[in-house]
A and B are shown apart, each in its own frame.
Chain A
Amino acid sequence: MNITSYLIRGLATGGQFALVAIGYTMVYGILKLINFAHGELFMVSGILMIYIVADLPTLPIGLAICLMAALTVFIGFLIEKFAYSPLRSAPRMSVMISAIGVSYLLQNLVSYITGGLSKQFPDIPVIGESVRFLGIKDKLTVFLSPVIAIVLTVILVQIINHTKFGMAMRAVSKDFETSQLMGIKINRVISITFAIGAFLAATGSVLYFAKNTGINHLSGANPGLKAFIAAVVGGIGSIPGAVVGALIIGVAESLAKAFGLADFSDVISFGLLIIILVVKPTGIFGEKTTEKV
């Protein structure tokens, strides 16, 4: 393989991470919560896809994907309702611990259902097929991922900047209490934020698992962490930041493989994370905040 193909694969992984990273960054923007369960939600949506295709073999694949996305969104909504919203006035650390608890629960639940075994992700027509582009032969999902990620991001940014809901969302992320006083239904804004995050994670999971064959209960941990690093590197709270961060991480890991440093790929991502945190803790696109004494 030549360097271009590594680069494209890197961008593909980056695009898939980006879709997950947006979920992290949006939730952080609004609730100042690192939603540790988001990676697990990503894994759960992959597992859902497997079960839907296996149990409803007659369902067209397109509809199956829609059904899976709807269920993922519903689960994302449930997590928020049951695990985070009761802790609205609790210290931030409690909410973070609750998120860790949820991720533990989801892992164990999936492990129970699947028997802890790796399951084969179904073949998805079209995006799972091999194509030749720029002289490189790979699955279509590889070429499509960065494009889809960027298109969805642009749509999302448009929604946030130009709709009434987007305005409410920005207000809530700036000042929780004041926006509540201004009559914004913050619980609805938060629910919708989680729903959007879950939807993007579901999209990401189809693209991601279409090239990776097996899924088990631990499959969400690594992509979850990577997407999360991406969100921090890009500046947590910033949507374009999450995408840029994810693309950087994806390409960096892929290039590491190109130079025979495959073992190092995790180390490189985490190293990048620590360097960013030390040099510019708010990330590439992050805003600086000062504490008032």
Chain B
Amino acid sequence: MSKNVLRVENLTMQFGGVVAVNNLTMEINEGEIVALIGPNGAGKTTAFNAITGVYEPTNGAVYFNDQLIIENHPQGKMKKLYAGKNSDMYKQAIVKTPDELTKLGMARTFQNIRLFKSMTVFDNVLTAKHLRRTSNIFTATFKLNREEEQRMREETAELLKLVELYDVKDEIATGLPYGKQRKLEIARALATEPSLLLLDEPAAGMNPQETEELTKFIHYIREKFSLTILLIEHHMNLVMDISDRIYVIDFGEEIAEGVPAEIQANKRVIDAYLGVSEDE
């Protein structure tokens, strides 16, 4: 058995009376590419945001490299309203902020691309190097961190060459074509030196050819940076091609888990997607 990188336990996310994610449990092992899929509104992005510290989950726990990063149980008004399970399992309320999680080695991209819009491609990636700094505001201001700054720039250039964006490094990030913006966002996440990469619909809005390139790209960076990857996706081709394992959720609840072939044959999954013709 390989080591598990991310372990999500009984994660529940409830907004008022609506349970968006219900008792989700997942395990992701080192080096795996795992996909989280489900019909529209199934709660995928909500789960993602709860794992990355953007939302405070209502109940449950998340472990990253066996370190407890998130734990919560229904409190205050939620105590009465809570409609999920296992509320007595958790006692603490720990929610690390997204920046702390990134520092631990968890990096993410966004469904609707969020690049630093006034910055160049180069600076977008360079900015992501900020969190590994050793300089403080004084040494940085008075340029006493020259070596570090130099190293950051070299690493950025190297990374951009690797993802084939070096030739557009001085362009304003938001001026790039859509596919390259996606790639840049991934490159920026990689610059934070993660061990786990979370991709939120990386192929959204891409045509079949671009999707195919993306598939190769994801495989490539996994090898190159020895990453573990969790992704949310709608493009079934991509998901089936790329994933080692798949979790399927519907109405916030897990309905299936397994390797692509199992998922494709699963009755409940087919039912959940029934009526939705597979696109592309």
Contacts and interface: CB of A to CB of B under 8 A. Distances in A.
A278 interface: no
A176 B45 CA distance: 26
Contacts of B54: 293
Interface in A272-293: 293
B87 to A, nearest CB: 23
Contacts of A293: 45, 49, 54, 110
Nearest to B98: A293
A293 B54 CA distance: 8
Contacts of B49: 293
A46 B169 CA distance: 59
A117 to B, nearest CB: 48
Contacts of B110: 293
B-side interface size class = under 10
Interface string A81-108: 0000000000000000000000000000
Nearest to B200: A293
A293 B98 CA distance: 13
Q: Interface range on chain A: under 10, 10 to 19, 20 to 34, or 35 or more?
A: under 10
Interface string B95-115: 000000000000000100000
A293 B114 CA distance: 10
Interface string B39-50: 000000100010
A292 to B, nearest CB: 10
A280 to B, nearest CB: 15
A293 B157 CA distance: 30
A288 to B, nearest CB: 11
A293 B110 CA distance: 8
Interface in B6-55: 45, 49, 54
Nearest to B49: A293
Contacts of B45: 293
Interface in A211-229: none
Interface in B93-140: 110
A293 B49 CA distance: 8
Nearest to B54: A293
A201 to B, nearest CB: 38
A59 to B, nearest CB: 57
A293 B113 CA distance: 11
A38 B54 CA distance: 38
Nearest to B46: A293
Nearest to B114: A293
Interface in B43-70: 45, 49, 54
A238 to B, nearest CB: 21
A112 to B, nearest CB: 40
A154 to B, nearest CB: 32
A28 B110 CA distance: 31
Interface string B181-219: 000000000000000000000000000000000000000
Nearest to A290: B15
Nearest to B52: A293
B20 to A, nearest CB: 13
A96 B211 CA distance: 43
Interface in A46-74: none
A291 to B, nearest CB: 10
Nearest to B110: A293
B53 to A, nearest CB: 11
A293 B45 CA distance: 9
Nearest to B45: A293
Interface string A174-214: 00000000000000000000000000000000000000000
A59 B110 CA distance: 67
B154 to A, nearest CB: 33
A290 to B, nearest CB: 9
Nearest to B15: A290
B107 to A, nearest CB: 15
Interface string B226-244: 0000000000000000000
A138 to B, nearest CB: 46
A293 B56 CA distance: 13
Nearest to B112: A293
B152 to A, nearest CB: 27
A293 to B, nearest CB: 5
A293 B109 CA distance: 11
A293 B55 CA distance: 10
B99 to A, nearest CB: 14
4 contacts: A293-B45, A293-B49, A293-B54, A293-B110
Closest 4 CB pairs of A and B: A293-B54, A293-B49, A293-B110, A293-B45
Interface of A: 293
